[in-house]
Amino acid sequence: MTSTPDQATRLLQLHRDPALLTVVNVWDAISARVVADTPGTQALATASHSIAASWGYEDGENIPLDLMLEAVGRIVATTDLPVTADLEGGYGDAAATVRRAIGVGVVGANLEDQL
User: Distance between CA 110 and CA 115 in Å, rounded?
Assistant: 15
The residues pairing with 84 across neighbouring beta strands, listed in sequence order, are 45, 108
Q: Where are the domains of the chain?
A: 4-14+22-110
Q: What is the pLDDT of residue 113?
A: 78
Rounded Cα distance between 71 and 64, Å, is 11
**Element of type H or E holding 26:** strand 24-26
What is the chain's pLDDT, residue by residue, as a tens digit (115 residues)?
689 999 999 999 999 999 999 999 999 999 999 999 999 999 999 999 999 999 999 999 999 999 999 999 999 999 999 999 999 999 999 999 999 999 999 999 999 877 6
Angle at 106 between CA 104 and CA 110, to 5 degrees: 130
| C-beta of residue 49 within 8 angstroms of C-beta of residue 59 | yes
Predicted pLDDT at 1: 67
CATH number for the domain whose boundaries are 4-14+22-110: 3.20.20.60
Q: Taking the complete model, does pTM exceed 0.75, yes or no?
A: yes
